[in-house]
Amino acid sequence: MTGKIRGAVLALAGVTLATAASLATPGFAQDRPGPGGATVEVSTEGQEVYEQICQACHMADAKGGGEPGAMIPALAGNANLADKDYPIIVVMKGRGGMPWFNGVLTKEQIAAVITYVRGHFNDYHDPVSVADIDRIVAANPPVPECNTCGH
Amino acid sequence: MIDQFTPPTRRQLLTMIGKAGGAAALYQAMTVMGHAKDSQFTGPPQLSGAKPGATVLVLGAGLAGMLAAYELTKAGYKVQILEFQGRAGGRNYTVRGGDTIAEIGSKQNVTFAPGNYLNPGPWRIPYHHRTVLHYCKELGVQLEPFLQINHNALIHSKKAFGGAPQPYRELMVDWKGHVSELLAKSLDAGALDTAVTAEDKAKLMEAMRGWGVLDKDMRYTKSDHVGEQRGWERPPGGGINGAPIPNDPSSLTETLNSGVWQTLGFYAEHVMQTTMFQPKGGMDHIGKGFAAKVGKLIRYNTRVTKIAQDDRGVTAAWTDTKTGATGETHADWMVCTIPAPVLNQIDFQVSAEKKAAIRALPYGNSVKIGLEMKRRFWETDHAIYGGISFTDQAISLVSYPSAGCFTDGPAVLLGAYPFGPGAYMLAGMTPEKRIQTALEQGSVFHPKEYKAEFLSGATVAWNRMPWILGCCATWTEESRAAHYQNLVSMEGRIVLAGEHCSYYGCWQEGALLSSLDAITRLHQRASAA
C-alpha cells in the first residue's frame, strides 16, 4: 500500500491544525532542488513510514543521537509517548528543530507510524487512529513546553 | 572653480547621498538609478570608532559569524569566536579526497581524486547576491560560471514517455508550441473576444505563431522551423545529405505529464536565473577566505553549554570536546549564530519571546550525494556540459560539473539533492545504501554508463550533522508574523545572526545580510552605551 505525497497534500487540504506550508515545497526564495522528487511515495504501513521518514533523524533503532546540547531525541523508551496525544501534536505541529508533518504525511500515515513507534519501541499498545488525530486537530492544543523532552 | 559646474559622476553622487542620508538613502538612490534593486546590500558597513577595549564574543564560525568578526575587528572591537567544530565555515563546506564525513551514526572516508570535490551545502551564487560576491572579491575568492540551465540535460517522469527521460529542450519547445496552438484556437473561436481587444487579438495571434512556431494553419506540427528549436531527426550537414530532417513533436498529453512547466517556472525564479557563479575548486574557499582574516580569533572544538548576560556583559560557558575541559568566555557584547535546533537546547538567558521564536523554527532537511565517475561520459557520449537533469524520484536531480569540461580522468556528479520526503528517505539510509540508491535512480538518465563508470561516493545528510541537526530554517508566513522580529531583535547585549535571521533563507546571502544588520545594530548600541 502506498499513498502519493501529492494525494496526501490534497487529502489534508481541510486540516488547519498547523500551517499549510508543505516541506516538500520549501519556502520563499530558498535554494532547493527544483521540481524534482515530486512523486516520491511514502508507505501507509507504520513500520515503513518510520523507516522512510522518521529514522532519518531518530535513527533505525529509534535511540536518536548526538552530543549533549545537540541531541536528536530517542523515541525508544520515551515516557512522553505514554500519552498518545503528545506524539500526535509534535508530528502535526513540529517542535524545536523538528518540522511538522501535517501536509507531508496523511492522517492515516501519521496514525500508523505513531502506533508503530509506541508499540514497537515502547510498551504502549493502544493504537492511534485517524479519529485521534481529528480530535487533536479540533482541540488545537499548543506544542508541549518541555525543552528537553525525550533527551 | 570650473569644477562646480561639472555634473557629478554617478559614483560621486552616490557617495554624497550616502554621506548625507546613510545606507537607506543610498539604497533608495541606487534603486532609482537602476542599480541594486535585487539586493539590500549597499556595500560593507562603515563601522568605526569602537570604544577602546570593547569586546565582542561571536558564537559560531560559519559565514555569518566570521563576517561579524571580520567587520567588527575592522571597527576596532576585540573579538573572539567559539566554534563547535574542528573547522571553520559551517555550511560553507566542501569535501575532497582524504576528508572524513562524521554524521551521527556513521563515518565516511572520502576517496575522490585530487581536484574533485562535493559541495554538500551551498553550491551556486546568483548574480544578484551582491553581499557574497562583494566579499568573494574582497577576500580574493576566484569565481567561475556555474552552469545552471542546460537545454540538453534531461527531464524524467515515471508518468511520461513510458519513463524515458527527454531533453529539456524538446519538452520546453513542445510546451510553448502546444500552449500557443491552444491559445490561438481560443482566440480564433472568439472565446476571448470579451477579454482582449481586436488589436491585441491580432498581436497575440502573431505572437503565438512566432513564439510557438505554429504552421500556416496555426497548428504545432513537425517542421524545419520546429526542428530549429527542438532539434532534429537528422541534423543539418554538408554535401548530398546536408538537408536536416525534423523529428516529431510530443503530444500535448505527454508534454503535460512530463511536468516541464515546473522546470520552466523554477528557472524563471529570480534566485535561479542566470548568471550563476561558484568558487573555483569548491565553495569552502569563501569560508577559507574569511578564516584567513579571522581564523586566529577562533577557539575550535568548543561546545557552548550556557549563555548568560547582565548589565556589564555576556558570558558563554563551554566544554572543549577534545579535552573535556570547561571554561567561560566573557565579553561586552555577543553575536550568536548557533543554528536554532542546537540553540534551543542551550541554557540561554533571553526573553520568553525570543526563546519561543527559537523553538518555533524547525529546519528542513536535505541530502547531497557526490558520485565520482571514471570519465565524463555525460560530455563525451551525450553532449551534456554542466546543468541539471531532473527526476521525480527521491534523488530529485543529477547535476553535472560546471568546471573542467573536456578534461580527462575522474569527475564528480551531484547524484542527489532532495528536500522533503526524498531527503528523509535517503537520510534514513546508511551512507553506502544512499550511494547505492543514487546509482540505481540516476541510472534512469544514463543506463549504459552510470554504474559501469562509478568509482566512489560521498554523502552528507544535513539532519545528521551533529553541529546543526538540519539543513536550514523553515519559515512560514504565520511563523514569520509571530516570531521573526522577536528572533532578530537585539536583546540586552546579545544579537542573533545567520540565514535563519533573514528573508533569504538557505542562502549564504541571507547569512551575510543578517550578520551585517546584526553588527550594525550592535555597534549602534555599543556606541550609545
For residue B138, the surrounding DSSP H or E stretch is: helix B130-139
Q: Which three cell numbers mark B170?
A: 524538446
Query: From the list B303, B394, B475, which residue is nearest A67 (CB)?
Result: B303
Query: From the list A54, A70, A98, which residue is nearest B342 (CB)?
Result: A70
Q: Check residue B256 and give left, alpha or beta (phi > 0: left; psi -120 to 50: alpha).
A: alpha
Fold category of B167-255 in CATH: de novo design (two linked rop proteins) (1.20.1440)
CATH architecture entry for A2-10+43-139? Orthogonal Bundle (1.10)
Nearest to B124 by CA among B520, B388, B462: B388
Average pLDDT over residues B435-439: 98
Query: How would DSSP label each residue in B419-441?
Result: BHHHHHHHHTS-HHHHHHHHHHH
The per-residue pLDDT for range B453-463, each reduced to its tens digit, is 999 999 999 99
A51–B428: do the CB atoms touch at under 8 Å? yes
In angstroms, what separates the C-alpha of B156 from chain A's closest C-alpha?
Answer: 9
The per-residue pLDDT for range B89-135, each reduced to its tens digit, is 999 999 999 999 999 999 999 999 999 999 999 999 999 999 999 99
Instruction: Please give the pLDDT value at position A16.
Output: 32
Instruction: Please give the pLDDT value at position B257.
Output: 95
Q: Which three cell numbers mark B166?
A: 527527454
CA distance B42 to B513: 10
Average pLDDT over residues A38-55: 93
Does the pLDDT value for residue B246 go beyond 50? yes
Average pLDDT over residues B284-306: 98
Query: From the list B105, B388, B392, which residue is nearest A59 (CB)?
Result: B105
CA distance B248 to B166: 13
B464–A19: do the CB atoms touch at under 8 Å? no
Q: Predicted confidence band at A24 (pLDDT cuts at 50, 70, 90)?
A: very low
| Strand intervals (E) in B288-442 | 298-299, 302-309, 314-320, 326-331, 333-336, 347-348, 363-364, 367-373, 387-391, 397-400, 411-416
Residues of A in contact with B422 (CB under 8 A): 36-37, 40
A27–B394: do the CB atoms touch at under 8 Å? no
The per-residue pLDDT for range B125-179, each reduced to its tens digit, is 999 999 999 999 999 999 999 999 999 999 999 999 999 999 999 999 999 999 9
Q: Predicted confidence band at B30 (pLDDT cuts at 50, 70, 90)?
A: very low
Does the pLDDT value for residue A11 go beyond 50? no
For domain B95-152+274-281+366-464, which CATH number applies: 1.10.20.10, 3.90.660.10, 2.60.120.200, 3.50.50.60? Answer: 3.90.660.10
Does the pLDDT value for residue A18 go beyond 90? no
Average pLDDT over residues B322-341: 98
CA distance B438 to B459: 10
For domain B55-89+285-361+471-528, which CATH number applies: 3.40.630.30, 3.50.50.60, 3.40.50.300, 3.40.630.20? Answer: 3.50.50.60
Question: Same topology for domains B95-152+274-281+366-464 and B167-255, yes or no?
Answer: no
CA distance B321 to B326: 9
In angstroms, what separates the C-alpha of B259 from chain A's closest C-alpha?
Answer: 8
Residues of B in contact with A40 (CB under 8 A): 392-394, 418, 420-422, 425
Does the pLDDT value for residue A42 go beyond 60? yes
A27–B262: do the CB atoms touch at under 8 Å? no
Residue B265: CB atoms within 10 A of its CB come to: 13
- CB-CB contact of B39 with B129 (8 Å): yes
What are the residue ranges spanned by the domains of chain B?
Answer: 55-89+285-361+471-528, 95-152+274-281+366-464, 167-255
In angstroms, what separates the C-alpha of A127 from chain B's closest C-alpha?
Answer: 25
Residues of B in contact with A31 (CB under 8 A): 122-124, 271, 506-507
Instruction: Please give the pLDDT value at position B15.
Output: 52
Q: What Cα–Cα distance (Å) separates residue B120 from each residue in A97, B64, B368?
A: 20, 18, 6
Average pLDDT over residues B294-301: 98
Identify the residue among A17, A32, A101 best suited for mutation to test binding to B, counting B beta carbons within 10 A and taking the highest: A32
B390–A24: do the CB atoms touch at under 8 Å? no
Q: Predicted confidence band at A145 (pLDDT cuts at 50, 70, 90)?
A: confident
Position of cell 519538452? B171
Residues of A in contact with B157 (CB under 8 A): 38-39
Q: State the average pLDDT for chain B.
A: 94
Residues of B in contact with A22 (CB under 8 A): 420
Encode burial over B293-314: b for 16+ CB neighbours within 10 A, e otherwise: bbbebbebbbbbbebbbeeebb
Does the pLDDT value for residue B221 go beyond 70? yes
- Evaluate whether ipTM surpasses 0.90: no
The per-residue pLDDT for range B255-264, each reduced to its tens digit, is 999 999 999 9
Instruction: Please give the pLDDT value at position B7.
Output: 47
What are the residue ranges spanned by the domains of chain A?
Answer: 2-10+43-139
A32–B419: do the CB atoms touch at under 8 Å? yes
Instruction: Please give the pLDDT value at position A31.
Output: 82
- CB-CB contact of B445 with B411 (8 Å): no
Does the pLDDT value for residue B419 go beyond 80? yes
Does the pLDDT value for residue B241 go beyond 90? yes
Average pLDDT over residues B503-528: 97
Using a pLDDT cut of 70, give the percent of chain A over it.
76
Average pLDDT over residues B390-403: 97
Instruction: Please give the pLDDT value at position A89.
Output: 96
Average pLDDT over residues A63-74: 94
Does the pLDDT value for residue B529 go beyond 50? yes
In angstroms, what separates the C-alpha of A29 from chain B's closest C-alpha?
Answer: 6
Query: From the list B159, B467, B470, which residue is nearest A97 (CB)?
Result: B470
The per-residue pLDDT for range A93-128, each reduced to its tens digit, is 999 999 999 999 999 999 999 999 999 999 999 999
